Amino acid sequence: MSILDSFRIDGHVAVVTGSGKGIGRGIAIALAEAGANVVVAARRQADIDEVVGVIRAAGGRAIAVQTDVNEPGAIERLADAAVNEFGKLTIWVNNHGGNRDGKLIPLNEYEEAEMEWMLHFNFVTAWKGAKEAANRMPPGSSIINITSGAGMNAAPRTGAYGAAKAAMNNMTQTLAVELAAKRIRVNGVAPGPVPTEIFMKTFPLDAAGLAAMGERLAVGRLGTPEDIAACVLWLVSPAGSWVTGQTIAVNGGHVPGSMAVRHEENK
């Protein structure tokens, strides 16, 4: 088998939450292109139908399962849908998450109900997803948690989100150890700034503003869903089979303080 063949995931069955738009959409399409059957899950039916259409047009297999992860029983039904349709479940990607209505709130100004909602949506539902997936997975499967740099550093005005993602990072390490005996690998991917729908709602920048933000990263540009999808594919494929318990930052070189330094091309 060549090194390129080791990135194939033929025969796998993947569930990707929050995959109607943005990073999740990119991950679902990438996994399908690499050979997996994919369950595309998100709240908006039109969005997931579009993603399934793209996958099927390219010769892949996919189904759309409308899912609100906050609803009781929704995650269990999603996991069952994968097994019922494709006979098994071998890849689970916890991609859903974000804040509500693009709000930026200092931690000391959060209402308790809002904090509870943020932690439930961004962490508790991811734990449920990992739990339900692991209980159905055979050896050789993978769980991927899409976290954030906000969970690795101070996150001014997005502290609740950062706290939830920090919990996901710890969960990734813990589950990797606890599920090792079942030969289920667990890893995380922490994206840097990618101008998705929720990103643009939170940071409503014009084209010039986005370009300026990208120039402050070491590589000189903002990320794309495909940048994140490529890392996810590596982690779930045989090429990444010696990796577990890791959260990998895919962020254009964003480290604390780096966004304040403008990128300069080598001359």
Summarised one tens digit per residue, pLDDT across range 233-243 is 999 999 999 99
Q: Indicate if 161 belongs to the active site.
A: yes
Structure-block tokens of residue 54: 């793209």
Summarised one tens digit per residue, pLDDT across range 42-66 is 999 999 999 999 999 999 999 999 9
Mean of the per-residue pLDDT values for the chain? Answer: 93
pTM for the full model? 0.94
The band of 199, judged by pLDDT with boundaries at 50, 70 and 90, is confident
In the predicted structure, residue 259 carries a pLDDT above the cut 90? no
Among the listed residues 161, 216, 233, 247, the single catalytic one is 161
d(CA 106, CA 156): 7
Q: What is the pLDDT of residue 101?
A: 76
CATH number at 5-260: 3.40.50.720
Average pLDDT for 232-256: 94
The band of 256, judged by pLDDT with boundaries at 50, 70 and 90, is low
Summarised one tens digit per residue, pLDDT across range 71-101 is 999 999 999 999 999 999 999 999 999 988 7
d(CA 74, CA 128): 10
Q: Which distant-in-sequence residues (6+ apart) come within 8 Å of 106 by Cβ? A: 156, 157, 159
Question: Could you tell me which residue, 209 or 153, shows the higher pLDDT?
Answer: 209
Q: What is the pLDDT of residue 261?
A: 43
d(CA 144, CA 247): 9
